[in-house]
Amino acid sequence: MSSPTRSLATRLLSGQAGILVAMAATMIGTALIVGPPIFDEHMRRTGHGAQPEVLEHADQAFRSAGFISLAVGLTIAGVGAAVLSLLLTRRVTQPLRGLAAATHQVASGDYTQHVPTRGVPTELAEVGTAFNDMSARLASTESVRARMLSDLAHEMRTPLASINLLVEAWEDGVVTPGTDVPQEIRRQTDRLLRLTRDIKDISEIEEGQLRLQHTVTTSGALLSRSRETFRAAAERQGVELVVADGSDPDVTVAVDVDRIAQVLDNLVVNALRHTPAGGRVTLQASRDDDRLRIVVRDTGDGIEADHLPHLFDRFYRTDTARDRDHGGSGIGLTISRAIARAHGGELLAGSDGPGQGAAFTLLLPLG
């Protein structure tokens, strides 16, 4: 059975052949019907109407010359049209063959396939561009899925191993129910729950499925919410959590309030986690041209310069900045930057070095 591409080529060539046959028949029929009467009329006007033998001979000569001329002309035109039709058909069918082959490869899981978009008809170039965009998106989605599964398996291993060891120790009588085993198991399961929630968030963000509900709010409302949320926790740690003097509370933005609150929560939690008792975490808002600038600054551990470019990488490990033993899932900053960029903004990190504290700057376009 012929392939769809060959079938298309055959149909194109057959169509071109049919057009040529129809044109040839039309030309021959027109020449036979219209030509002789016109020729006879001219012969009579030249005075040969009373000479039947001459008129008949000239008519036969005209028909013979006309037939030969038409035959030669139609043959040349037919050969030229056939060659041109073959070239045009190949120009159409070759990209289609490539597209079909690439489609089969993508269907089998090879998302690196691309088809050429130069030197082909405009319509096929548009189809090729759409195919390449689809292939690239599938490759990106598959890459995200593979990395996410790998990271998830890696990050779940430690808490699951801890729970398993605690349960075995409990069953063997090494530890008793009166110890802190239940609390430790709960802490590890909470860590798993945070991890799965964060994995879901980052998957939605990286696949472009994050939905934002924009509402108008002010910088003061955003900072007040964060301060009130973590005031008790800061007091328990002996850390001062304040809104900086001179902070502008009246900068208006249109954002997804819950998502931006999630970003600020991550930043404040991160700051509190790495600020010892007696330290301070400061929230500050200001207008920066056409953007709102929110800075969360702490006087804690600080960050080495080598680590700064990698802080927003998923599950990036450092001794001071991304310590999951203190309760973080390892992708809080990754999610925070992705949310900021989804709003058309940015999230930046800065530090003067170990022991010098850190500052995270959230930039959002004004509403």
DSSP class of 364: E
User: b/e map of 52-66 (b: 16 or more CB within 10 Å)?
Assistant: eeebeebeeebeeeb
Structure tokens at 25: 């028949």
What is the reported pLDDT for 10?
A: 66
Q: What residue has token string 């000569």?
A: 61
Task: State the DSSP string of 38-69.
Answer: HHHHHHIIIIITT-HHHHHHHHHHHHHHHHHH
pLDDT value at residue 58:
64
Query: Which DSSP state fits 350?
Result: E
DSSP 229-262: HHHHHHHHHT-EEEEPTT--TT-EEEE-HHHHHH
**How much is the pLDDT for 327?**
44
On the 0-12 / 13-18 / 19+ scale of CB atoms within 10 A, 273 is middle
Which is nearest to 230 in space by CA: 193, 184, 282, 181?
A: 282
pLDDT at 61: 66
**What pLDDT is attached to residue 320?**
40
d(CA 41, CA 56) in angstroms, rounded, equals 13
pLDDT at position 322:
40
State the CATH class of domain 215-365: alpha beta
Which residue has tokens 């409302």?
Answer: 221
pLDDT for the residue numbered 221? 94
- Give residue 349's pLDDT: 92
Sorted by sequence, the CB contacts under 8 Å of residue 247 that are 6+ apart come out as 219, 220, 223, 283, 284, 285, 286
Answer for the pair 35, 96: CB distance below 8 angstroms, yes or no: no
Overall pTM > 0.75: no
Taking the domains of the chain in order of start, what are their residue ranges? 4-110, 151-206, 215-365
Residue count (the chain): 367
pLDDT in tens, the chain (367 residues): 444 444 555 666 676 677 777 777 776 666 666 666 766 666 666 665 556 666 666 666 666 666 777 677 767 777 777 777 777 767 666 777 777 777 877 777 777 777 777 767 777 777 778 878 888 777 777 776 777 677 667 667 777 887 888 778 777 777 666 667 777 777 778 778 877 777 777 777 766 677 888 999 999 999 999 999 998 989 999 999 999 988 999 999 999 998 899 899 989 988 998 999 999 999 999 998 899 999 999 999 888 888 888 788 766 655 443 444 444 445 778 888 988 998 999 999 999 888 889 999 999 998 6
DSSP code of 359? Answer: E
pLDDT of the residue at 197: 77
Angstrom distance (rounded) from CA 338 to CA 314: 11
Q: What is the DSSP string of 268-329?
A: HHHHHHT--TT-EEEEEEEEETTEEEEEEEESSS---TTTGGGTTSTT---SSSS-GGGT--
User: What's the CA gap between 143 and 193, in Å, rounded?
Assistant: 24
pLDDT at 324: 45
Report the pLDDT value the prediction gives residue 41, as an integer from 0 to 100: 64
